Structure 1
Amino acid sequence: MNNLAIRITHILILSTSCVFLSGCQKTYTYTISGIVKDATDGKPLQDVEVDLNGYHSHMGGVHFPIKTDALGHFQFDWKVSDGEFHGPTDMPKWVLNLKKNGYADESVDISTKREPSQASTPVSIIVVVQLRPE
């Protein structure tokens, strides 16, 4: 076999391996939404910074932190690979961190209890958070 034939064979083997390996991975979409209110009067809080697991960057298709709107609402879609469900602790740990000047910081555990059954259906996680004035 000449060198060209050997190289083509190796490229075909590598290409085939990549197709089989990448075909095994699923991506799940989570829609995470919520409302943030003042704990004393129940009014919605605007411009609350929301991040996930302390990331102040791009993660899972989202640029963190995001901010609540005038009605205290936030929402983002977050892409998660199935590899997150098969790590050393099996289930991933997800925490929303919320911050606003004049209020105590709040963290909310939004960890899931199981891997979704279908990759085609988004999973909704909805939270209502009350921040206490400092």
Structure 2
Amino acid sequence: MKIEFGNGVNSINRTTDAELFSRREKYIILYDGKIKDKMMNEYGENDFLITYDDKYYFSFRQFKLNRRHQHDYKFHFYPKGDKIYIAVDIKGQDAMKFKRPMIDIKLVDKYICNTPIDSAGGIYNMIELEKE
């Protein structure tokens, strides 16, 4: 499992999720089998790119409204049926909590913002616009 982090790295105007992987030099690697680096403490658009076993990926954005806001980040991965799921629980003033299936990395050019391109419709900015 690899967790990459960047502040304002992902463009909402990308044509497919393949562009996420073409900008990897802009990310900090937080975890790659072990802790690699510390998360930059900044406000704004915290972009995460998570890969699992180099076969699955998921990206999301956390909006952090103040650099003084501190958070605890928990990532949990588990199989369900024939898919790998990610559960994210961010505790703090800009909290988030969700569970979603990860996407087969071979299909990266068929997705935008974790959504099949054919059904993306009005999604402009990753999962924060979706309601469970």
Q: Which has the larger radius of gyration?
A: 1
Q: TM-score range by the shorter chain?
A: 0.3 to 0.5
For normalisation by structure 2, the TM-score amounts to 0.34
Structure having the larger proportion of residues in strand: 2
The higher-RCO structure (CA 8 Å, 6+ apart) is 1
